[in-house]
Amino acid sequence: MKQRQVGLPGWIFVPAALGAALVLLPLVGMASRVEWGSFVELVTSDSALTALWLSLKTSLVATLLCLLLGVPMALVLARTSFRGQGVVRSLVLLPLVLPPVVGGIALLYTFGRRGLLGEELDALGLQVAFSTSAVVLAQTFVSLPFLVVSLEGSLRSAGARYEEVAASLGARPTTVFRRVTLPLVLPGLVSGAVLSFARALGEFGATITFAGSLEGTTRTLPLFIYNLRVVDPDAAVAMSLVLVAVAVLVIAFARPGRSTW
């Protein structure tokens, strides 16, 4: 038996199909330009592998940072109430809507040499801007909201009742967090982390502004492709396809229904 629903107006399928085409057609267009004969060669060149490796490494570290900072943030937002919480939540989500290049400039004038904390960092012998740390920082900046939003949704829908029962059974807050809260929101946590990883992997604007594009140090895959598209379009297309493949894998991991996102 098929579930009958209230019928949709027929015309609604036209813009829906157009929208789907807008998303899918460029992928087809790109795939059609791939030089399959030299594909493997193109994506395994030294500089390509260096960029890919740098991207994976920095994105992974950024995801870990997101977990380390984002889980507590989500907990504070979901499980406490304080004055101005709404404002704090909006500000935390700012990087979601901010143009990444603006984020990069903000980071530069905070952690850069002449930035807000530049002198202090300099005194400690730390030079953040235009280093691999800057890449990680930029990636963390843009992907943190993905984890926080995803996890806060999971925490809210899981509710606090299991935690209350756990406390009444004598579990300290840390035990409740470890043995009840975390396992209950694990699916949301995983999909949030995967989304953060994907966002970090695709990060471009903030990275190029704050970290620059130095091969082996800050030139991640998106930056590499951007550089390559003029001098070697074939290689750029091939590497783009690799990123598409990674993105598809990520979506398969964090598909809707696993979390509120």
Partner 1 sequence: MSLELDAQVAQRDVDVALEAADGETVAVLGPNGAGKSTLLAVAAGLLRPDTGRVVLDGVELTGPGVWVAPHARRIALLAQDPLLFPHLSSLENVAFGPRSRGVRRRPAREQARSWLEEVGVADLADRPPGELSGGQAQRVAVARALAADPRLLLLDEPMAALDVAVRPALRQSLRRVLADRTVVLVTHDVLDALLLADRVVVVDAGRVVEAGPTTDVLTRPRSAFTARIAGLNMVRGAWRDGAVVAPDGHVVRGLTADPAPADGDTVVAVFRPNAVSVFREPPGGSPRNTIDATVTDLEPFGDQVRVRAATASGHSLAADVTSLATAELDLVPGAPVVFSIKATEVSIYRT
Per CB under 8 A, residues contacting partner 1 are 161-162, 164-173, 175-176, 179-180, 183-184, 186
CB-nearer residue toward partner 1: 101 or 171: 171
Nearest approach, Cβ of residue 169 and partner 1 (Å)? 4
CB-nearer residue toward partner 1: 166 or 228: 166
| CA 67 and chain centroid, separation | 12
Sign of CA dihedral 190, 196, 199, 201: negative
Query: Measured between alpha carbons, how far is 92 from 89 in angstroms, rounded to an integer?
Result: 5
Q: State the angle between helix axes of 233-253 and 13-32 in degrees (0 to 180), rounded to the nearest 10.
A: 130
Nearest approach, Cβ of residue 252 and partner 1 (Å)? 24
Nearest approach, Cβ of residue 149 and partner 1 (Å)? 23
CB-nearer residue toward partner 1: 19 or 183: 183
In the three-class reduction of DSSP (H, G, I as helix; E, B as strand; rest coil), residue 232 is classed as coil
Residue that the structure tokens 């098929």 belong to: 2
CB-nearer residue toward partner 1: 137 or 189: 189
User: What angle is formed at CA 175 by the lines to CA 172 and CA 176, rounded to 5 degrees?
Assistant: 85
Nearest approach, Cβ of residue 187 and partner 1 (Å)? 11
Hey, what amino acid is at 238? Answer: A
Nearest approach, Cβ of residue 50 and partner 1 (Å)? 42
Query: Measured between alpha carbons, how far is 250 from 126 in angstroms, rounded to an integer?
Result: 34
| CA 44 and chain centroid, separation | 25
CB-nearer residue toward partner 1: 89 or 156: 156
